[in-house]
Amino acid sequence: MIDAVEQLEETPGRALVESGALVAGTMARTAAGLLFDPGSSRVRLHDGLAAWLRRTATDADVEAPSPVSARARCRAGAALAFATELSVTRAAQGRTVRTDGFLTPGPGGRAPADEIGEAVVLAARGTAEEWRVRHLGYLLAEAAVAADLDAAVVARGLRLAGSLTGRQLVLLAAVGRRERIPLPIAPVPQDPRGWTTWAALEDLGELQRGGLLDPPPPTPRPGGSALPRLRPADLRLTRRGVLVHRLLALEFVRDEAVTEALADLA
């Protein structure tokens, strides 16, 4: 009996998800049990969704490039644990798993979702900002219930997110919750002296120029007239911004992080 338990715990894929405890805490072990020993929990995942996450975890564990640091490995496992966690929440919210073939393996045994799973594992391994790992995992859970987003659109959203700084993601989160937590109405500085505020304004400007936030940066007027002052309260998510916000479930970014990012703009 003990040998059977030890063998179960050492199953490739399960071992990877459990290793995510360094980033995801004890939830990683619960998620591993839900994926690889579903009979041990009262909670159940959709069969196709669970099979996809198991397949992603197993492939990432068995076919991991060498060498992979222990910390990078645990980030990959944590991303899959967070995906499992949000999948349970989405099911409780009544969000149904898509049935359009996204999760269904085709020729070669590979589903469209498998490309996304592999890309998320790679992104999780490679990030030094480990708070991002939660949201990378959340992308998998959201993609599984977002029937209006095909694999190419999901991949685009992941690439967009990967090109952004951590503070830029938090600023998107701030604008996305503007109805719940009003944004400041004081104009942002035009010529800040401190480096922190300068860098925060650079992040904001890149979001505007990149088409993730409206309004875009103002164009200098003929005659050198004064440009309008931007207030955080004026900001809105564009369609590109909505895609990143939705896929990474940025509504779960901590309020403290949002407060800090907005303070950097002051």
Q: Catalogue the E-assigned strands of 96-229.
A: 213-214
Q: How high is the pLDDT of residue 109?
A: 85
Both 248 and 138 in a single domain? no
236 pairs with which residues across the strands? 214
Both 78 and 206 in a single domain? no
Q: What is the DSSP code (8-state) at residue 183?
A: P
Assess if residue 151 is contained within a domain.
Answer: no
Q: Tell me if the pTM is above 0.85.
A: yes
- Give the CA count within 13 Å in the CB-facing half-sphere of 45: 30
Both 124 and 13 in a single domain? yes
Print the domain residue range for 244.
Answer: 168-219+230-264
Assess if residue 67 is contained within a domain.
Answer: yes
Q: What is the DSSP code (8-state) at residue 80?
A: H
Both 188 and 142 in a single domain? no
- Output the tens digit of pLDDT for each of the chain's 266 residues: 444 444 445 789 999 999 999 999 999 999 999 999 988 888 889 999 999 999 999 999 998 777 889 999 999 999 999 999 999 999 999 999 999 999 999 888 899 999 999 999 999 999 999 999 999 999 999 999 999 999 999 999 999 999 999 999 999 999 999 998 899 999 999 889 999 999 999 999 999 999 999 999 887 776 666 677 899 999 999 999 999 999 999 999 999 999 999 999 98
Both 97 and 190 in a single domain? no
